[in-house]
Structure 1
Amino acid sequence: MTDQELVLDAVKKLKLIVSEYLKPGSSKDARKTLEILILLLQDQALADAMTQLELQEALRNAGGTAH
């Protein structure tokens, strides 16, 4: 899975978690929902992918090349 795919997958999961929480009639356990969101965002592979994408963007903006 590429860095972009990993980040996109995480965003889709985050969106699903939030939409389930906001769905009418669903149980509203804010603490549990927040814990799930935090666990997802703390994933080391996701953090590494974000770091790589940010580095690539910085290099592009600086006129360099990124792989």
Structure 2
Amino acid sequence: MAQPGGHLQLRALRNDVGRIQAGRFFVVIVPGSGTGELAGITGTGGIAIDPDGTHRIWFDYDLDQ
């Protein structure tokens, strides 16, 4: 039995001076990469690692369905 869902591709972003910031990582969903139930998805996200080692993850997305 097929599982519902889909796939998408993420791409790392650099900050505006061309370097990835220490302790921060940014991603964007590659346009048109969503399949199945994720077709039409757009968005961004990232991870920040605080000095105490706490990891904060966020993901903002929109499903245009």
TM bin, normalised by shorter chain, reads under 0.3
Please tell me whether Structure 1 or Structure 2 has the larger radius of gyration of its CA atoms: 1
TM-score, normalization by structure 1: 0.23
Q: Which structure would you say has the larger RCO, counting Cα contacts within 8 Å and 6 or more residues apart?
A: 1
TM-score, normalization by structure 2: 0.24
